[in-house]
Structure 1
Amino acid sequence: MLDVLKTTDIKAKTEVITISDAERAREEALRQRFSDFWASATTDLRTTYEAFISASPLVNNVTVEAAHQEAVQGWWVRPEQASSAQAILYIHGGGYVLGSSQAYRGFVSQIVSRTGVPAFILEYPLAPEASLPTAPNTALAAWDWLVAQGFRKIAVVGDSAGGGLSLVTLTQLGKGNSDVKPVAGVVFSPWVDLTFSGASMVDQSVVDPLIGYDYLKDCAQKYVGSFSASDPLASPLLGDLQKLPPLLIQVGTDERLLDDSRQFANRAAQSGVPVQLEIWEGMHHVFQLDVEHIESARTALDRAAQFLLAAFNRG
């Protein structure tokens, strides 16, 4: 009699990507830049974070345009030529308490330039001024708005907390009645578990140069409001993942959210979702932002673009 493979034995397709000595030196120099930047900051945290994220350069071959609708606000980043049926919904990071669509225009332009697909960067209300379920509801409203604009092939992309919100959105869309389903999801260092079950959250051997456990705990408390941290709207890791589209998850080894990515990728694989997990050796949280400084960022974005284009071509 054949042994039946238990779903708990299923693991995500994982690739560990190593870096050269020269790249490691560039990464160390970048970390010193991070340290100097934050040490010299004189403005409030939100303003400082805006400057930090805005350093990702805007490419030349795109246009940017603000969108101000009643229920949906954000920025469009469009290539010179694009299909009228394809779009990316981008959901930015910042621990649910920081960040804006405007600050992310440069970074998202890097994705748009590589894919030739226009991206809408969503502006969602931040905590503590707004708590659950405001952000997930805003993301679903943005999806409906894109569909109403005539887009029929849409991927959802996000980073950090925005990566978690992207996965919440994809999970909800999988259960919804929309006749347009996501073609794919791409998430960079997603925050998927606000119950903090991942070992890397407190592992002293993990040296995260950008975010800490105490900061994340504070962000989570502000964001969940009256909800439980174990609610799937807060922690997509704990939701029903069976109807998710194909996923690409990229994460660095040197970050508190490493095990969030590992756990989510494996749970998605156990649920039958096609998922690729890339673990980048020696890389910091959302290293893809630093396209000007490290080769790994450029290569990771190239790989993400290839994944998205394959998904759009299948969809």
Structure 2
Amino acid sequence: MSPDSFGSDVIPGTVTVPLAEEERHREGALRDLFARFWGTATREPRVVYDAFVSGSPLADAVTFDTVDEDGVRGWWLRPQDAEVRRAILFLHGGGYVQGTATAYRGFVSQVASRAGVAALAIDYPLAPEATLPAAPNAALAAWDWLIGQGYERIAVVGDSAGGGLSLVTLANLARRNDGPAPIAGVVFSPWTDLTLSGSSMSDPARQDPLIDREYLQDCARKYVGTFDAGDPLASPLLGDLRGLPPLLIQVGTDERLLDDATRYAARANEAGVPVRLEVWEGLHHVFQLDVAHLDSSRRALDRAAAFLRRAFAS
């Protein structure tokens, strides 16, 4: 099956990307590296997570500057010759309990460089110190700040929990009747259902080397606070998807969150949202982080950037 062949008639716009044999060997070696890293990690979990994520190298010819203004904190990642008045709002992963914009600078620079658009990666309040609706409110505040800075065309991008938060943010913005609307959303391995009802969450055939059901269950409990896990602010899968901009969703077949991605794509399609779902065979959670190790990671980011460039040009 070619990388652009359709893998499903159930969700129009689904693309299945096969894993070449040599890439399968690299994926196996990378999983061994993951096992050694996590098996020997002794520091505080948030420090360990940041060390893991920061393995994504900084892209060439991208400058980075801190932002700490009007309650918005994070980093600007600006490629040379970036288009003016265009921006990516990036929301990081980490199960809503860990992750920082600082640790994600390398990964976000890879997205920004390929798309030719400056990206603002923000820090949002983490659980359990902060619970719903703190993170969605912070994402909306960052959006409003970008608008106030004169950015007129903005895409929202995120990975894992940040992918879920990106979809929550897009849904919140779709309910607004004033100001510019998002031009697109791109999410990598999004966590869309904090009730953990997807069949892949418990499927023994899924060999996700990075996250398991117990971890996600603990993160969800800490994050939702007094809210129900099925509230659309927590689980965008269960919300109103009408009016969203064009979406690209990328996910690996070995993920616990596989069904979070495929079910969201199906619901988005039913709601009339232009959605492209890419299912990458044999790959792990947010494999796009591993640009230094996998050709699949680089190809996936190239495809995501092409999607963003088309959206910004339209």
Tell me which interval the TM-score lies in, with the shorter structure as reference length. over 0.9
Which residue does the alignment assign to 1:287?
287
- Structure 1 position 71, deviation (Å): 1.6
Q: Tell me the residue number matched to 2:20.
A: 20
SS of alignment partner, residue 50 of structure 1: helix
- Report how many residues are paired: 306
5+ long unaligned stretches in structure 1? 1-8
Which residue of structure 1 lines up, in the alignment, with residue 64 of structure 2? Answer: 64
In 1: Cα distance, 2:41 partner to 2:230 partner: 35
1:177 CA drift (Å): 2.6
Distance 2:272 2:183 in 1: 16
Tell me how far 1:178 sits from its aligned partner: 3.1
Which residue in 1 is equivalent to 2:226?
Answer: 226
Partners of 1:14 and 1:279 within 8 A in 2: yes
Residue 94 of structure 2 is matched in structure 1 by 94
Alpha-carbon contact 1:10-1:269 (below 8 Å) kept = no
SS in 2 for 1:16: strand
Matched residue type, 2:143? W
CA-CA distance at 1:163 after TM superposition: 0.1
Partner SS for 1:42: coil
Provide Cα deviations, 1:116-137, integer angstroms capped at 9, x if missing partner.
Answer: 1000001101000000000000
Answer yes or no: is the 8 Å Cα contact 1:50–1:100 preserved in 2.
Answer: yes
Aligned pairs (5 A) from 1:163-174: 163-174=163-174
Instruction: Give the counterpart letter for 2:28 in structure 1.
Output: E
- Aligned residues: percent identity? 61
Give the Cα–Cα distance (whole angstroms) in 2 for the partners of residues 157 and 29 of structure 1. 28
Q: Which runs of 4+ in 1 moved over 2 A?
A: 9-12
Alpha-carbon offset, residue 83 of structure 1:
2.1
Q: Distance in 1 between matches of 2:34 and 2:217?
A: 22
Deviations 1:246-273, CA, capped at 9 Å, x for gaps: 0000000001000000000000000000
- Give yes or no for contact 1:12–1:265 (8 Å, CA) kept in 2: no
Is the CA contact (8 Å cut-off) linking 1:192 and 1:237 kept in structure 2?
A: yes
Distance 2:154 2:227 in 1: 29
Q: Distance in 2 between matches of 1:60 and 1:115?
A: 13
Partner of 2:150: 150
Give the distance between the partners of 1:154 and 1:57, measured in 2 at CA. Answer: 24
CA separation of 1:226/1:12 partners in 2, compared to 1, >3 Å: closer, same or farther?
farther
Confirm whether residue 211 of structure 1 aligns to residue 211 of structure 2: yes
Which amino acid in the other structure matches residue 26 of structure 1?
R
Matched to 1:127, the amino acid is A
The residue that corresponds to 1:201 in the other structure is 201
Distance 1:294 1:221 in 2: 33
Which position in structure 2 is the counterpart of 1:53?
53
Task: Report how far residue 19 of structure 1 moved.
Answer: 1.2
Match of 2:80 in 1: 80
Give the drift of 1:217: 0.1
Match of residue 252 from structure 1: 252
CA distance in 2 between partners of 1:34 and 1:159 (Å): 18
Deviation (angstroms), 1:203: 0.6
Q: Which runs of 5+ in 2 are unaligned?
A: 1-8
**Alpha-carbon distance, 1:10 to partner:** 6.4
Q: Please state how far the C-alpha of 1:60 moved relative to its aligned partner.
A: 2.1
Q: Give a deviation string over 1:136-193, Cα, whole Å, max 9, x none.
A: 0000000000000000110000000000000000000001133210000000000000
